[in-house]
Amino acid sequence: MNNQSFKDKLYEIIFESDTPAGKRFDLLLIIGILLSVIIVLLDSVQFYNNKYGNILYLMEWIFTIFFTIEYFLRIYCIKRPALYITSFFGIIDLLSILPTYISIFLPASRYLSVIRILRVLRIFRILKLILYIGEANLLMDALISSRRKITVFLFFILTLVTIIGSIMYLVEGEANGFTSIPRSIYWAIVTITTVGYGDIHLKQN
């Protein structure tokens, strides 16, 4: 009975965002996701990687352990774990934590490029933030809701350019000027806004 009560309480905290405990958990999760994404961005910049590589690596492990615990707690407290594991966000959760563990078993000297590709998958954590943005329902409300509409729109654009920039960093690489994820995001912004500076361009075959 106590075990069942504990699982019910845990489910309420993790999955019920309209409770005080659920709101605090969601806030903690949002902060963790944003910080982990920032670490991914900084880690892709050579300057920060050379200077703070060890710190960034340690912080990545801290966040990976945090998200791993969260992942298994979700499986533990939900009545039908298979539904969560095979769901879109369940797969995203798994993809966001696997690369760090896989990198342990791949020698960096031989599989460095593979590890870089896998580590970029951590950027998909940002997709989880969609779960916690409920203001999209206010798009048809009065003028006071316009600020939230703009926030949702800007958040969507930020998510889009972050994912597109990460993909271009992965596909094109440093040879074509995509030397880091922030620089690739800059390219995505320039492209989407049709400014087209041309300082970063795709290699023509």
Domains and CATH numbers, the chain: 1-131 (1.20.120.350), 133-205 (1.10.287.70)
Which is nearest to 20 in space by CA: 7, 5, 31, 9? Answer: 9
What is the distance between the alpha carbons of residues 55 and 130, in angstroms, rounded to a whole number?
Answer: 29
pLDDT beneath 50: ranges in the chain: 1, 109-115, 136-139, 143, 205
Q: Residue 68: what pLDDT?
A: 92
Q: How are the residues of the chain apportioned to helix, strand and coil, as percentages rounded to the nearest 5?
A: 80, 0, 20
Q: Residue 101: what pLDDT?
A: 83
Q: Residue 179: what pLDDT?
A: 83
Q: Residue 2: what pLDDT?
A: 56
| pTM for the full predicted model | 0.63
Q: What is the DSSP string of 149-170?
A: HHHHHHHHHHHHHHHHHHHHHH
Q: Residue 134: what pLDDT?
A: 52
Q: Residue 113: what pLDDT?
A: 45
DSSP state letter for 139: T
